[in-house]
Every structure is written in structure tokens, then in C-alpha cells.
Amino acid sequence: MVYGKTTMMPIEFEYKTLRKALQLNMTLSEAQKDHIKQLNALDELRNMAVQHTKIIQHQQAKWHDKYIKERKFKSGDWALLYDSRYKDTMGKVHTRWLGPYEIVEVFQNGAVRLTTIDPVRFKLLVNSHRLRLYHKPATKE
């Protein structure tokens, strides 16, 4: 063996059809046909496994999509903003939802422009996945 060169193996070490034919008392052509049948069966098993995997993935996606709630925001609604910055430091009594904020504009890509409801207003742009719809409090009247 020379470093960096491929080795030259006798054909009976690379393809075991000749050895198999001698062990099973078959002719070489019968052994080759049997070997091709086994390879085809292996390909069929592989295709069946791939098909089964696709079916299982489709079923899992369908099951997970069943529990997705679609949230539609429109301008003028109020929303709470999830604050993920302090999720490890806060105690269990504190809330992680900030706001409420007023929705100014909803974009096609899922971004939402918010503004505070305080007299001093500032705008911020957030992802709609971080929002929860807030129902305005009822008035005393």
C-alpha cells in the first residue's frame, strides 16, 4: 500500500458474488441476479422508510398546527408586550407583560408599530409574536 493511492483489490473482495456463488453452488449469473434482487429489495425498504417518515412528519405538523391560535391585530387595539429581557431574574409573582400599548400600524411581515397610552408617547416596532391582545377596561358608566 502506498500512501495517498487507492488500493487495487481483487474482484472477489469488492463484490462478494463470486464467493457467494461458490458457497451456494450457483452459477455466477444466478448469484449476480440474486445480488441485484437483494439490492432492489433494499431500495424498496429505503423508499418505504422515506415515505413512512413523510407521513409521520405530516401527522406531527397537523397535530401541532391544530393548537396554533391565529392572532389578528388591527390599528386602534390595545396589546400587552412580552418582556423576555428579565425572564430569569424576576420572581414568580411579577408579571412579564408590559403595557398596555396602542397599536398604530400592522405590517404584512408580522411587525407591529406600537405607541404608549401615556401622555408622553413614544413609538416602538416589535414582532407580533411578542404581543397579546389586551381588552380595554370597562368604564363606570
CA gap 126, 129 in Å, rounded:
8
Give the confidence band of 81 by pLDDT, cuts at 50, 70, 90: very high
- 10-29 pLDDT, tens per residue? 555 555 666 667 777 777 77
**9 pLDDT above the threshold of 80:** no
83, 89, 92, 96 alpha-carbon torsion, rounded to 10°: -10
CA gap 130, 85 in Å, rounded:
12
- 36-47 pLDDT, tens per residue? 888 899 999 999
Give the confidence band of 90 by pLDDT, cuts at 50, 70, 90: low
Q: What separation in angstroms does the CA of 134 have from each of 77, 80, 111?
A: 8, 6, 17
More confident residue, 86 or 49: 49
Q: What is the pLDDT of residue 137?
A: 79
The C-alpha angle with vertex 114 and arms to 112 and 120, in degrees rounded to 5, equals 165
Q: Are 80 and 98 in contact (CB under 8 A)?
A: yes
